[in-house]
Amino acid sequence: MTTDLPAQQQDWPGSTAELNPRADHGEDSWTGRDRLVGKRALVTGGDSGIGRAVALAFAREGADVAFSHLPEEQADADRTAALVRGEGRRVVVVPGDLRTHEANVDLARAALDALGGVDVLVCNAAFQMTHDAVEAFPPEQVERTFATNVFSPFWLVRELAEELARNRGNVLVTTSVQAYQPSDHLLDYAATKAALNNLVANLAQELGPRGVRVNAVAPGPIWTPLIPATMAPEKVEGFGSDTPLGRPGQPVEVAAAFVFLASDEASYVSGSVLGVTGGKPVF
């Protein structure tokens, strides 16, 4: 595993192909064990990073996958689709910006129409941009961060609640160690992740009686295009070295948590936040 990252920068939203070193999404390291055979999953932000690793791992575990991505991320989305298709699974790719209620309704309906149903909803898409002082955070950025990170999961769950209840499915949400150890340069992003933890706890209470499990995965510093695309080069250098394990995580290491929570192995797990943080506490 990589322990030292060189300083680097990309234009937002970033490209997987330009990462140095390359990220591990499980292309050569994930072995499927048929834990999600017959499942149909919808993953937001599935083009790169954690989303790509989840899509690939789910496919290797036997699931069909629909995923969303921003139009600017088409090249990465095409690669993810090819990986899922290469596992012999159905894949549905839905471009769009999930900041509006209408976009989330359209995504949910596209997944339902193409897959014939949804058993697992993975709310993973997120936006962040760093600034060094609270005065530097543009109002439009704060609104975008909350709309992407918090409103979209709320709207998707609202739209798919009946479907998930019918299938005794589950909801998985990507939160973050930032909810517990917020960085001042990620002020708005950290706040959204704390809000998501609360949303997960509430939804587990709301949907549990209907047979739907709701859980979160809270990654620590994970090596994805989001990092060099939203942080200054000097912050990228050494990214993740402050964890007890002394390195950043790889997307495939986070995907393992999603596979567990989506599978029947986690049949009595709901309302939980599973940290994948390299040793940083999530409590």
Show which residues are catalytic.
Answer: 189
Nearest-10 Cα torsion for 39, 222, 230, 69: -10
Query: How far apart (Å, rounded) are the C-alpha atoms in residues 177 and 93?
Result: 29
Could you identify the residue written with the tokens 């990589």? Answer: 2
Query: How far apart (Å, rounded) are the C-alpha atoms in residues 52 and 74?
Result: 13
- Asked if 25 and 44 count as a contact pair (C-beta separation under 8 A), the reply is no
The dihedral through the CA atoms of 67, 87, 276, 172 has a sign that is positive
Q: Please, which residues have CB within 8 angstroms of residue 94's CB and are 6 or more apart in sequence? A: 66, 67, 68, 69, 106, 107, 110, 111
Nearest Cα to 39, choosing from 200, 203, 215, 164?
164
